[in-house]
Chains A and B, each alone.
Chain A
Amino acid sequence: MRMTLTALAFLSASATLAVAAPGPAQQAQLDTYATLAKAVDPAFAGFSAEHGKTLFLAKSTTGKPDTPSCTTCHTADPTKPGQTRAGKAIGPMAISMKADRYSIPAETEKWFGRNCDSVLGRACTPLEKGDFITFMVGQ
């Protein structure tokens, strides 16, 4: 029994470690945004989780009035589930809690496209998208 528990503890610890880094599909998405960011700014030197966190928590006055922040629907804790304004549950944004986040480019672009417009009143830049995902990869 003790052996089993130890094995389970080890397995769950390694599982947590395994999802704390981007998977191949998420890395491919980050690489795409890095290429685009470099095209905009040749001095681009990598994404910043700290900038992603700031973007996620920021309050905006330039978007639609009902959605002043990402946190309006996603809560300020990316490891917690959120809720749409209509009441539907939203899975956590952190990849430690939802491993398939940011792994389908069309879905990722769809939600950035909608939500950047709803919250900021404009499209997000490739730099902002990469920063955002980099923050969520570490959560």
Chain B
Amino acid sequence: MRYHVLGFAIAASLTTVPAFAATPEVAMAKECGACHMVYPASQLPARSWTALMASLGNHFGENAALDSATTKQIADLLTTTAADAAGRNNRALRGLSATQTPLRITETPYWISKHGQGRVAATALAAVKAKSASDCVACHAGASSGQFDDD
């Protein structure tokens, strides 16, 4: 009987878990990371992250909508750590016009300049079993923690 009471108490506490996580970092790891690698905010300007977070209802062909509190929590973290945020290294913006709002890191001139000479050709991706050029970890072992200096 005691176990049953305990079981119900645990179940009841599970149902009251808030939809948004305690910290933005935890929310981002959980929500973005549910479907793909958590891409580094530093590789796109704030306007790109704002556009992405405003269009989660059609996120590269899927509905990835979040409740408004979690959306704001993650959008705020992304825009305050974006390539053009105050005090950030903005080398990822090299060659990018202020009028452009890339929605993929792989569309930025900087990324393209770093992945030339067949580095992301179909044969090269197949050789490391990368699902696409967005599969950073296939080549950059530290990508999940923002480490890309292995090239």
Q: Is A7 an interface residue (CB 8 A)?
A: no
- A66 touching B61, Cβ below 8 Å: yes
Interface flags, B29-45, vs A, CB<8A=1, else 0: 00001111100000000
Chain A residue numbers with a CB within 8 Å of B17 are: 104, 106
The answer on a CB contact under 8 Å between B14 and A103 is yes
Q: Which range contains the number of A residues in contact with the other chain?
A: 20 to 34
Asked whether, in the complex, the Cβ of B62 is within 8 Å of the Cβ of A85, the reply is yes
Contact, CB under 8 Å: A85 / B61: yes
A65 touches B64 (CB 8 A): no
Contacting residue for A114 out of B18, B33, B62, B134, CB 8 A: B62
**Quick one: which of B14, B18, B62 contacts A118, CB cutoff 8 A?**
B62
Q: In the complex, which residues of chain A have a beta carbon less than 8 angstroms from the beta carbon of B77? A: none
Residues of B within 8 A of A87 (CB): 36, 131, 135
- When C-beta atoms are compared, the residue in chain B nearest to A64 turns out to be B61
| Partner among B19, B61, B134 whose Cβ is within 8 Å of the Cβ of A106 | B19
| Interface residue A67 (Cβ < 8 Å from any Cβ of B) | yes
Which residues 82-116 of A sit at the B interface, judged by CB distance below 8 A? 84-88, 103-106, 110, 113-115
Taken together as a complex, chains A and B put the C-alpha atoms of A28 and B7 apart, in Å, by: 13
* B19 contact from A23, A25, A110, Cβ within 8 A: A110
Given contacts A24-B8, A88-B35, contact A114 B64 (CB under 8 A): yes
**Nearest CB to that of B17 among chain A residues?**
A104
Residues on B with C-beta less than 8 A from A113 are 63, 65
Q: Which residues of B contact A104 (CB under 8 A)?
A: 14-15, 17
Binding site for B on A (CB under 8 A): 23-25, 28, 64-67, 84-88, 103-106, 110, 113-115, 117-118
A-B contact pairs, 24 of them (CB 8 A): A24-B8, A25-B14, A64-B58, A64-B63, A65-B61, A66-B62, A67-B61, A85-B35, A86-B37, A86-B131, A86-B134, A88-B35, A88-B37, A103-B14, A104-B15, A106-B17, A110-B19, A110-B66, A113-B63, A114-B62, A114-B63, A114-B64, A117-B57, A118-B61
Query: 12 extra interchain contacts, Cβ-Cβ under 8 A, other than A25-B15, A67-B61, A85-B62?
Result: A24-B7, A24-B8, A64-B61, A67-B62, A86-B35, A86-B36, A88-B34, A105-B15, A106-B17, A110-B67, A113-B63, A114-B65
